[in-house]
Amino acid sequence: MVSRGAAMTDVDKPAKRPMSRRRKCYLTALGLAGLFGGILGAWMQVAQSGGSASDLAMLSNGPLPTNFAIGASIIWVVGMILSLILYHRSVDDHEERAYLWAGTAAWYTITLAGPTWWVLHRASLAPTPDLMLVFVGALAVNLLVWLWLKYR
């Protein structure tokens, strides 16, 4: 007879399922996107001209060196294309639906915010439109909608 307080042994543990090929591809896509983003963010922080080293380069509109701009643009486009190809090859129907609705919500954010800000600026009612601010806002909407649809 085994007491209730007896410690579990490895024999009692359920076998761990191996990770599926689709899951590995999904995690690789997310990992690559994160890696490319991290490299670009760190490189931009080092390459920024003007301002102090403690200023966050992603929130600045200061000048950047030409070689950084060219290299970062190439890494961004190639990295996003590779990550997106891997991502779309690995998602299931539920994730694809969440992704598409999140992208639609982000697009609506851009189509509402961009022209509205531009018109208000032309009437001297708002500061100059900031594309990165609109982009970050759209990404935030995208993330929130995706999380809500994927995990509700």
**51-60 residue pLDDT tens:** 555 566 665 6
Tell me, yes or no, whether 74 and 26 share the same domain. Answer: yes
What's the structural domain count of the chain?
2
**How does pLDDT run across 59-84, given as a tens digit for each residue?**
566 777 888 889 888 988 988 888 88
Q: What is the pLDDT of residue 19?
A: 77
Q: What are phi and psi of 12, to 5 degrees?
A: -80, -15
Distance CA 87, CA 27 (A): 8
Tell me, yes or no, whether 47 and 85 share the same domain. Answer: yes
Q: What is the pTM of this model?
A: 0.67
Q: What is the pLDDT of residue 103?
A: 95
Q: What is the pLDDT of residue 119?
A: 96
Tell me, yes or no, whether 60 and 80 share the same domain. Answer: yes
Among 90, 106, 141, the domain boundary falls at: 90
- Range from 36-40, 114-118, 138-142 carrying the lowest mean pLDDT: 36-40
Tell me, yes or no, whether 71 and 107 share the same domain. Answer: no
Tell me, yes or no, whether 110 and 52 share the same domain. Answer: no
Domain contains 6: no
Domain contains 123: yes
The parent domain of residue 146 ranges over 93-152
Distance CA 37, CA 138 (A): 17
Among 62, 90, 118, the domain boundary falls at: 90
Distance CA 132, CA 18 (A): 41
Instruction: Write down the mean pLDDT value for the chain.
Output: 83
Distance CA 92, CA 22 (A): 9
Distance CA 110, CA 30 (A): 24
- Contacts (Cβ under 8 Å, ≥6 apart) of 89: 25
User: Which residue shows structure tokens 């609109």?
Assistant: 134
**pLDDT > 70: what percent of the chain?**
82
Per-residue confidence at 40, pLDDT binned at 50, 70, 90? confident
Tell me, yes or no, whether 36 and 86 share the same domain. Answer: yes
- Contacts (Cβ under 8 Å, ≥6 apart) of 96: 88
Tell me, yes or no, whether 68 and 97 share the same domain. Answer: no
